[in-house]
């Protein structure tokens, strides 16, 4: 069966510090991978998605970036965090050509 | 920008009562509509994937209908139980071929014992 992991679960970072959130998927190959953010009082916003290694599409302009160094690994990064980066970050995967997305446990990020 | 709206934003329902809420989405370029349930401290979990106009899906006490011509879907919960308390999200996929979900802001349902 497929599983998706995210870490860390919770993170408190100062403004201006770097960020690296990691997501890995097991039990499937060549998945579509997604990063979402839920800011306080708002819905889920798609940040990045990837259909293959090294292929990243960005949905909104921001100071975040994503990378996919391996087939089942998706990393969300920032060189300098802003206060507005606080939120709940979810990684998700889906099979190529199918639409149901399966979500990881999430990372709660607080930027102070 | 695709506009997906859900109403109401929040809802309190007495245990045992039935309830429903709405998801509105663009009626053009429709490909699929998803419903997810998001319980506190857990990950969103897929409930239904709906693709055909007039489709009705059921999972236990939860069902959903789809009207793609007018751009709405209803989610129904019959005989609400405390474990139904969660945020219910709908998500729209267009036929642009990129398999991206556009989520609504959700309906937060609280069941009162």
Phi, psi (degrees; rounded to nearest 5) at B105? -85, -5
Work out the pLDDT band at A62, boundaries 50, 70, 90: confident
Q: Which residue is it, tokens 């209908």?
A: B65
* Dist. CA A56–CA A61, nearest whole Å: 13
Residues B58/B41, Cβ–Cβ less than 8 Å: no
Q: Which residues of A touch B104 (CB under 8 A)?
A: 43
What would the mean pLDDT of A67-86 be, rounded to a whole number? 95
Q: Measure CB to CB from residue B43 to each of A57, A59, A106 and give the nearest one.
A: A106
One DSSP character per residue, B28-76 reads SSEEEEEEEEE-TTS--EEEEEE-STT-EEEETTEEEEEETTTTEEEEE
* Residue A20 Cα, gap to closest chain B Cα (Å): 20
Q: Measure CB to CB from residue A49 to each of B46, B89, B100 and give the nearest one.
A: B100
Question: Residues B23-81: pLDDT tens digits?
Answer: 999 988 899 999 999 998 889 999 999 999 999 999 999 999 999 999 999 999 999 99
pLDDT at A98: 57
Given a cut of 60, is residue A7 above it in pLDDT? yes
């Amino acid at each position: 069966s497929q599983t998706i992991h995210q870490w860390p679960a919770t993170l408190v970072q100062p403004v201006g510090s770097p960020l690296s959130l990691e997501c890995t998927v097991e039990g499937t190959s060549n998945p579509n991978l997604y990063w979402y953010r839920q800011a306080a009082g708002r819905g889920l916003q798609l940040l990045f998605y990837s259909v293959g290694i090294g292929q990243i599409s960005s949905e909104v302009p921001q100071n975040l970036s994503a990378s996919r160094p391996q087939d089942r690994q998706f990393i969300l990064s920032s060189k300098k965090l802003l206060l507005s980066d606080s939120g709940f970050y979810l990684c998700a995967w889906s099979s190529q050509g199918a639409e149901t997305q399966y979500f990881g446990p999430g990372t709660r990020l607080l930027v102070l | 920008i695709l506009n997906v709206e859900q109403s109401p934003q929040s809802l309190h329902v007495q245990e045992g009562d039935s309830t429903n809420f709405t998801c509105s989405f663009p009626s053009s370029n429709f490909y699929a509509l998803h419903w997810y349930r998001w319980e506190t401290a857990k990950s969103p979990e897929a409930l239904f994937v709906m693709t055909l106009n007039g489709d009705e899906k059921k999972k236990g006490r939860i069902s959903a209908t789809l009207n793609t011509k007018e751009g709405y879907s209803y989610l129904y919960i019959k005989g609400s139980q405390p474990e139904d308390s969660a945020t219910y999200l709908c998500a729209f996929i267009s036929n642009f071929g990129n398999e991206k979900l556009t989520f609504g802001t959700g309906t937060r349902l609280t069941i009162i014992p």
